Amino acid sequence: MTLRRLHFLAAIWTMAWITGLVVATLGVELTGDPAAIALVKRGVLFAIVLLAPVMMTLGWAGRRLAGASRAPGVLRKKRRVLILSGNGVLVLIPCALALDRLASAGEIGWLFYLLKAVLVAAACTNLTLLGLNFRDGLALARGAPAPEAGLAARP
């Protein structure tokens, strides 16, 4: 498999996985069943852990493809990856851990829903950043200047 293909597949996988997490975490609320909620919370935790190596591969392949390029599209992609990794380590993982504990203890109260809202917001932020990187990646692969190329200060 070529590096480019690996990068592309890891990008699709990551975006589909995070979308799945958001849908599962919101969807299970419709059941209102505490056991199902606890099961999904445990699943979300494992899913985040399993996603980490795919995201590392995505970033690694992206950096290899970029080489020493200082193109605005490439710099923006690197900046976004920094933000989304920080979001993952500082917000998503701690929230998923706390939600798992609360759900297994049956403590589904205001704190649970607050943390859940933070988790969903962080996941949606990451999905947006991934989407922007996807768009810029397609432009880079076509050899076209990435959209908003003049706005290097934007994330």
The residues that touch ligand HEM, with contacts defined as CB under 6 A, are 4, 7-8, 11, 15, 58-59, 62-63, 65-66, 74, 77-78, 81, 130, 133-134, 137-138, 140-141
Between CA 152 and CA 150 the distance in angstroms is 6
CB of 137 to ligand HEM, least distance (A): 2
| Closer residue to ligand HEM (CB): 110 or 142 | 142
CB of 26 to ligand HEM, least distance (A): 22
| Closer residue to ligand HEM (CB): 66 or 118 | 66
CB of 64 to ligand HEM, least distance (A): 8
DSSP count for the chain of H helices, then E strands: 5, 0
Judged on CB neighbours under 10 Å (0-12, 13-18, 19+), 136 is buried
Find all residues with CB under 8 Å of 77, minimum gap 6, and list them. 62, 66, 133, 136, 137
Enter the tokens of residue 80: 């976004």
Task: Identify the CA nearest to 45 among candidates 6, 5, 103, 108.
Answer: 103
CB of 145 to ligand HEM, least distance (A): 12
| Closer residue to ligand HEM (CB): 22 or 39 | 22
Tell me the residue nearest to ligand HEM as measured from the CB. 137
Between CA 87 and CA 80 the distance in angstroms is 10
| Closer residue to ligand HEM (CB): 59 or 72 | 59
DSSP-derived secondary structure letter, 2: -
CB of 21 to ligand HEM, least distance (A): 16
